[in-house]
Amino acid sequence: MVPEVQYSSGSSHNDKEPTALNSAAFDVEQQAVAEAHLRNTTIKSIAWKGVKVTVKDRKTKLPKSIVDDVEGVVEAGELFAIMGPSGCGKTTLLNFLASRPTGPSSSTSGKILVNGNPMDSRSLTLFHRTTSRFVEQEDTMIGSLTVRETLHFASRLATASSSSERISRVEGLLDAFGLREQANTLVGTPLRKGISGGQKRRLGVASQLITGPKVLFLDEPTSGLDSVAGWEVVKYLRGVTKRNNLIVIASIHQPSTATFNLFDKLLLMSHGKMHYFGPVAAVTSHYKSLGHQVPVHVNPAEFLLELVNTDFTTDKDTASRQLEDMHLAWMNSVKSTELRVLLDSIEKAGSNAVIDLGTPEKKPTHIRLVLTLLHRSFLKSYRDVVVYGIRLMMYMGLAIMMGTVWLRLDTSQESIIPIINALFYGSAFLSFMACAYSPAYIEDYMQYIKEKRNGLYGATSMIVSNFLIGTPYLLSVGGFMVPPTILNVFYKYVFHYWDYQKYAFENMLINEFSERVYVCQKTATDCQFHVQDDKGVGHPRPANAKKGTYLKAHQKSRENA
Ligand SMILES: Nc1ncnc2c1ncn2[C@@H]1O[C@H](COP(=O)(O)OP(=O)(O)OP(=O)(O)O)[C@@H](O)[C@H]1O
């Protein structure tokens, strides 16, 4: 029987008022208050049995096993590492455990047990949506926000918690991840240096923890970092995990000895198969018993990765046989038998009872989500040099170009249309400069993918907020094609009055023509400019003027008459 997953009615939140959380270092009591939302009292273990992932091979089109009969268990308070050479199936297994897609045309099988209870896909989806978060390898962040703002926006998008609760969580996480000194520093963009890579990674983890997940998945949290920065990420993560009894499942690639030793448990994989599962502290003795002694002063993680890596060997057949022997040695080992016994006992102890996920956090309303996204886009749009600075430079280029072109235009009839065209070109250029937003949109899109996968908001909120922030750049109802006096009422009242281009174009026209005097000849066909009087009424076309020519007589000629 598959257990139900449901929420309890009791509050899992901190009921106390948050203490004054300023730049002073946290003491233990303050930290406990700020991390109250993180405390795990409900999820005792996550176990998996017989996990297989098969894909259709790109070249041969035959089924190819990329995760082959993998099992394991992580208990509350543990940091668990999935390690193996590149391409061994770490990310695929991590995705399977987090109920994320395992790749196109892949098929999966295997059991996932939460607190010993086998979960069906519906229960598992609900479990992950409410209880777990995933930190991507390439964690996208908005570079023009500060560290503190990043956490605040993550919180505002995820929960409708009160602002005092939010401040408490944000300030607590700044301390828990050693980001207090960088709180007001920008994350950084390619053109503007911000926080370091290690700090960025810590911020990525902290912004997922703001919503209080009990299980955290991390895809290679130390990749691309130097050994000290990588160690710091895992050290801070370990602190939060131990204090709050969380479950952390991370894939790792070549950690330093110090980082490796921060993990509690290890799964070593090669070519999708298991080579070791158990405490990190016991892995060297296990391999010693198989005749592979880790030499003194050698990083055990590097030693193990070399041992199970066949990518760089010239004699592939021998290497594959040796690898298969090592896999069989694991399968027949005492540790493997112990794991199977443990998994059986966990499954037997599973009561099939309701899994209590605590009180659900109140989600923000759609309107609140859209307003939060608008606020974030607004901050980004004026701070990001890609969005704003480059456009400013192009506007200045445009001003120089138009100023020099106008220099040659006099007040003769022939100049009127070129001047109007130049003015319209200038205002239309402002609209088309919206294209300069494209690089920044890629950042928005990546952010959206990440936040959607973590269940923060959906496509509707993203589209509505992006539409609203972008609309003034898109619509062109400024009065050039059709004057507002005869513009269709829908366009007139919905778009015309708040189209910034209207004001730009009108101001340019006033600036250019208000003081000028153009005298029409008696024959209306000589007039290049159609004029309306003060009431916006066009002057009648003289009977002798050809249809389609510019007709309206100038006020001055009326006054003269
Ligand atoms: N359609 C496919 N055809 C052939 N091989 C595939 C296909 N899809 C995935 N693979 C292989 O499956 C393996 C598992 O990929 P996965 O990303 O899980 O590995 P990884 O251990 O996380 O690698 P890395 O450390 O490089 O990120 C890789 O060797 C990949 O090439």
* pLDDT tens readout for residues 164-205: 888 888 988 898 888 999 999 999 877 778 898 889 999 999
Give pLDDT, residue 46. Answer: 94
3 lines ligand 1 (CB under 6 A): no
464 lines ligand 1 (CB under 6 A): no
Sheet holding 273-279, edge to edge: 132-135, 215-219, 247-252, 79-83, 265-270, 273-279
Going by alpha carbons, the residue nearest to atom 23 of ligand 1 is: 87
- Quick one: DSSP state of residue 281? G
Going by alpha carbons, the residue nearest to atom 10 of ligand 1 is: 66
Give pLDDT, residue 544. Answer: 47
Q: Under 8 Å CB-to-CB from 438, ≥6 apart: which residues?
A: none
Structure tokens at 393: 């430079």
89 lines ligand 1 (CB under 6 A): yes
**What is 5-12+28-356's CATH number?**
3.40.50.300
Give pLDDT, residue 439. Answer: 66
Residue 254 CA, ligand 1 centroid: distance in Å: 17
Residue 343 CA, ligand 1 centroid: distance in Å: 27
What rounded mean pLDDT belongs to the chain?
A: 78
472 lines ligand 1 (CB under 6 A): no
Residue 431 CA, ligand 1 centroid: distance in Å: 44
Give pLDDT, residue 123. Answer: 85
Going by alpha carbons, the residue nearest to atom 8 of ligand 1 is: 55
Residue 171 CA, ligand 1 centroid: distance in Å: 39
Residue 91 CA, ligand 1 centroid: distance in Å: 8
- In the predicted structure, residue 555 carries a pLDDT above the cut 50: no
Q: Which of 209, 218, 159 is nearest to 179 (CA)?
A: 209
Residue 386 CA, ligand 1 centroid: distance in Å: 35
Q: Give the Cα separation of 203 and 271 in Å (integer).
A: 32
- In the predicted structure, residue 557 carries a pLDDT above the cut 90: no
Give pLDDT, residue 474. Answer: 54
Q: With bands split at pLDDT 50, 70 and 90, how would you rate the model's confidence at 268? A: very high
Q: Give the Cα separation of 275 and 325 in Å (integer).
A: 10
- In the predicted structure, residue 502 carries a pLDDT above the cut 60: yes
Residue 115 CA, ligand 1 centroid: distance in Å: 30
57 lines ligand 1 (CB under 6 A): yes
Give pLDDT, residue 513. Answer: 77
Give pLDDT, residue 18. Answer: 35
Instruction: Give me Rg for the CA atoms of the chain.
Output: 33
Give pLDDT, residue 496. Answer: 75
90 lines ligand 1 (CB under 6 A): yes
Model confidence pLDDT, tens digit, residues 112-125: 999 888 888 888 88
- Strand, coil or helix: 184: coil
- In the predicted structure, residue 15 carries a pLDDT above the cut 70: no
pTM over 0.90: no
Residue 55 CA, ligand 1 centroid: distance in Å: 10
Give pLDDT, residue 525. Answer: 56
Average pLDDT score over residue span 374-394: 75
- In the predicted structure, residue 336 carries a pLDDT above the cut 80: yes
Model confidence pLDDT, tens digit, residues 359-382: 667 788 888 889 998 898 888 877
Residue type, 454: N
Q: Give the Cα separation of 50 and 110 in Å (integer).
A: 5
Ligand 1, from 54, 56, 90: best to mutate by most atoms within 8 Å of Cβ? 90
Residue 259 CA, ligand 1 centroid: distance in Å: 24
Domain boundaries, the chain: 5-12+28-356, 369-516
ipTM value, please give it.
0.95
Give pLDDT, residue 24. Answer: 46
Give pLDDT, residue 10. Answer: 37
Model confidence pLDDT, tens digit, residues 112-165: 999 888 888 888 888 888 889 998 877 778 888 999 999 999 989 888 878 888
Ligand 1, from 62, 65, 92: best to mutate by most atoms within 8 Å of Cβ? 92
32 lines ligand 1 (CB under 6 A): no
